[in-house]
């Protein structure tokens, strides 16, 4: 019997026991047998005190707990999930199961778990009589989630004419995220900083051999950003997820590290908030029509962000690029299509394309015969285009090692597609903003 089955046999139930809404925090209470988890969200008191409808806020916070619980459920994967503190109808139960199952695709794959959407979990709510809210609040301005990378920088710049009515949403603020907001000239009182604390019991169980892996964190950002946008009177939540986020990581499967950044999840979340919360604030991705190629091409015009932007997960705690992971190599390659080596070395500390030890990372990013890394990276089509442009830019100065090897490969012989005019029509960008993208 594998670990997945062993843990499910040992721990048969996961219980969402309750949640607290305090003036400066949300606390959620989950339980698996003798193990209790009490993750906490902390924020400034003013951020929720002006909620137009307190009952709607209560239900939205309950729903944030629904998005949070999957991080704790996955350690033992109990077959039954009991919701003892809120109502869900049958349609909502199916909605959550879809999110959990698809959002855990990478987790299942990397842990060798064989399961299906029907059997992996049974959700039992306390009741099915869900509340209805008559809320006509529309609001104004944008709440812009800022992660510190080039994508959210481009959204900040695209929406700068609305800056006086906007706010930046930063989960677990750090140097890079705050610096990007400040560089975009947002004042401290326009920054919604929220701290999310993981319960240490989960970390202890992981260290003891319980299951661990990727969860759909962007769904947590979706529900939390909706709460703070609603309480802050914003009309829109402007994400920075691009068309490329829809691509799977494992060829021939739907396993997607970025599932909760996909168009499919975006459409599902928009349905959920309209059906069970309120029409506004409206959640959409400003960059969905664009490819990562176009986003990078726009980003390099904003040199003032070069010293402060950072999207490496490994180096996030120290606000540095580790310059040793697939995410760093990916960003390096995309920027290399536009920036000279000396500028890249200022950002990353080294020329990553000169290092033979990154050959495996390079292969996963570039070649069709290799699986795409489990990172938030663009498509192989985009990366190959960037490599061709990077080679053209350096043809008179000599190419770095990995670029030389690439130029001798069969992949090089394929003419890359021009993505300058790419436009993904499957998007939810408000009509009045489309002119900023076309």
| C-alpha of 107 from chain center | 15
Query: What are the C-alpha distances in Å from 161 to residues 155, 157, 158, 169, 237?
Result: 11, 8, 8, 18, 16
d(CA 281, CA 274): 9
d(CA 139, CA 419): 36
Report the 10 Å Cβ neighbour count for 58.
15
Say if residues 189 and 167 touch (Cβ distance below 8 Å).
no
| C-alpha of 91 from chain center | 25
Please give the full DSSP string across 42-95, using - where no structure is assigned. Answer: E--THHHHT-S-HHHHHHHHHHHHHHHHHHHHTTT--SEEEEEEEE--HHHHHH
Q: Sign (positive/negative) of CA torsion 320, 322, 327, 333? A: positive
- 299's tokens: 């980003």
Query: What are the C-alpha distances in Å from 125 to residues 8, 33, 73, 258, 429?
Result: 20, 18, 16, 28, 34
Question: Which pLDDT does position 317 carry in this prediction?
Answer: 85
How many angstroms separate the first and last alpha carbons of the chain? 55
Question: Which pLDDT does position 1 carry in this prediction?
Answer: 63
* Ordered mean pLDDT values, 10 residues apiece, the chain (438 residues): 93 98 98 98 96 96 98 98 97 98 97 96 94 86 97 98 98 97 98 98 97 97 98 97 93 92 98 96 98 98 98 90 96 98 97 96 94 93 96 91 94 90 97 96
pLDDT digits (tens, 9 = 90+) for 339-392: 999 999 999 999 999 999 999 999 999 998 899 999 999 999 999 999 999 999
Cis peptide before 281 (omega within 30 of 0): yes
Report the 10 Å Cβ neighbour count for 432.
7
SS3 category, 341: helix
Question: What residues does 169 pair with on adjacent strands?
Answer: 145, 192
Interior angle at CA 29, CA 24 and CA 33, nearest 5: 160
Please give the full DSSP string across 11-39, using - where no structure is assigned. Answer: --EEEEEEEEEETTEEEEEEEETTEEE--
Say if residues 48 and 94 touch (Cβ distance below 8 Å).
no
Spell out the SS3 assignment of 404-428: HHHHCCHHHHCCCCCCCCCCCCCCC
Please give the full DSSP string across 90-115, using - where no structure is assigned. Answer: HHHHHHHHHHHHHHTHHHHHHTT---
Question: Which pLDDT does position 316 carry in this prediction?
Answer: 87
């Amino acid at each position: 019997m594998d670990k997945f089955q062993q843990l499910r046999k040992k721990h048969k139930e996961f219980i969402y026991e309750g949640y607290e809404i305090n003036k400066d925090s949300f606390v959620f209470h989950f339980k698996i047998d003798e193990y209790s988890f009490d993750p906490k969200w902390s924020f400034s008191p003013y951020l929720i005190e002006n909620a137009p409808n307190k009952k709607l806020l209560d239900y939205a916070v309950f729903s944030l707990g629904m998005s949070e619980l999957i991080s704790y459920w996955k350690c033992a994967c109990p077959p039954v999930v009991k919701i003892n503190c809120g109502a869900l109808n049958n349609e909502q139960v199916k909605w959550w199961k879809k999110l959990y199952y698809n959002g855990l695709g990478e987790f299942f794959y990397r842990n060798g778990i064989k399961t299906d959407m029907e059997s992996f979990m049974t959700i039992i709510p306390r009741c099915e009589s869900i509340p209805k809210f008559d809320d006509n609040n529309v609001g104004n301005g944008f709440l812009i989630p800022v992660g510190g990378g080039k994508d959210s920088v481009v959204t900040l710049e695209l929406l700068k004419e609305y800056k006086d009515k906007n706010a930046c949403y930063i989960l677990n603020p750090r140097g890079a995220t705050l610096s990007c907001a400040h560089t975009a000239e947002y004042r401290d009182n326009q920054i919604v900083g929220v701290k999310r604390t993981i319960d240490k019991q989960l970390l202890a169980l992981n260290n003891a051999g319980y299951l661990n892996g990727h969860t759909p964190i962007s769904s947590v950002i979706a529900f939390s950003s909706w709460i703070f946008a609603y309480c802050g009177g914003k009309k829109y939540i402007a994400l920075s997820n691009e068309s490329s986020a829809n691509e799977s990581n494992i060829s021939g499967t739907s396993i997607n590290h970025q599932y909760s950044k996909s168009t499919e999840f975006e459409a599902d979340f928009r349905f959920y908030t309209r059906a069970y919360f309120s029409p506004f604030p409206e959640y959409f991705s400003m960059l969905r029509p664009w490819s990562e190629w176009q986003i990078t091409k726009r980003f390099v015009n904003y040199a003032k962000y070069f010293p402060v932007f950072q999207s490496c997960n490994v180096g996030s705690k120290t606000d540095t690029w580790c310059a040793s992971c697939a995410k760093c190599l990916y960003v390096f390659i995309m920027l290399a299509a536009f920036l000279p080596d000396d500028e890249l070395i200022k950002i990353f500390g080294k020329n990553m394309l000169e290092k033979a030890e990154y050959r495996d990372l390079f292969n996963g990013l570039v070649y069709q015969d290799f699986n795409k890394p489990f990172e938030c990276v663009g498509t192989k089509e985009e990366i190959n285009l960037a490599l061709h442009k990077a080679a053209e830019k350096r043809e008179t100065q000599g190419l770095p090692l990995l670029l030389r090897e690439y130029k001798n490969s069969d992949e090089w012989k394929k003419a890359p597609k021009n993505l300058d005019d790419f436009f993904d029509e499957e998007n939810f960008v408000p009509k009045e903003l489309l002119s900023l993208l076309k």
